[in-house]
Structure 1
């Protein structure tokens, strides 16, 4: 199936030829591979393919390109591709360190902020039991920042209509469920296409959203640049000292990592 999908596209032959010659794929060819297969999957199975259909594509990828297989992960190709760009240790940092290292300290920092309604709602949400899961940054409120990251979509409404109306040029999470408190699945919305998240929890979905920026070489949303830079340098430890950071990001990192 994967081979047939690649044969339909001129770029597919380039991907196959490069892998045959080098037994690996360059960053450009890996991105092209993902683009072709995501397009093929949505054409064949619609915007919301089943778990089984997604697994068929994942199996097809690692069968056709065995050297790309991530033997340590079952989270899907987004995670595998990020591991190829960096390493397994870097890839797992958010999921491993969030609840124990960062979450309680960030909640404590948030308690010192001005008690606006959006901040209060975010605090209440964060304090719930954990899930079984050179630019100048623009000013943005807490509630607007959340809407830039996660957009709720009621499961009974048309996802195609939502994508047609979307004006965003940056990737974001689309949370689909019966209500904001009952989310059934997460998708990464990118260029009016949906990439199904392999995890059912919001933390894992955020992990995949961050990684998509690297896989597709996408710049951070300017209004969220400090948020993403914090994740990049402080959580994932990518390009620390090489990436331009706002003073607040450096200050927060020192406070979180040096406090007991």
Structure 2
């Protein structure tokens, strides 16, 4: 009976129901089955759930479910072995430099004025950079070690191509305006829980004369903010950045000829 009651509780309230919910179920059991009431306790249902101590048959069953659920979750090491995703380590064919060659390449590219030399040295140090990216201790230093990402165009694209190949790296940007962007907006229209702000953004998503969605703009980027809401800044919920507030931090791109003053107004 306890298993059945907890199964119903977790289906409705999740695997971490509140104390009030657990106490309500405990009261329900002894009200439906008076013979199960404990005559020696104050309320008669503490053996099913005691709100003060957090113990009882219902609480113990919930802990068992939570423990099994956590055991089923993949560990960080298992995540690392999974195929796909940004955290996956992929095989690269680029040759790896010796420590001395690596130091020389990093020093040279920092002061090089020829962008072709920078691109070449960035390509040669790609394997080392990938190792840094997948090392939690070294990853924060990637941009300070390879400073030319900030001023030489195409270096991110070059790394992406070296990692995934020419064909894959070209697919995203090629298919975004003709496939992904329009589907993103279409999928958003079918959401079961949709805010007033999101409804407004969907309604205002710009369309060209032939019905196709136009190039990237602030409306579509705002829409994506709602579809992929900002994560909590720390564990405390009060630190969470709302989607409405996040929109104010978006970079807005204006087409040539648009009035900057008009946009600001």
TM-score by length of 2: 0.30
**Higher RCO, Cα 8 Å, sep 6+:** 1
Q: Which structure is higher in strand share?
A: 1
Larger Rg: 2
TM-score by length of 1: 0.31
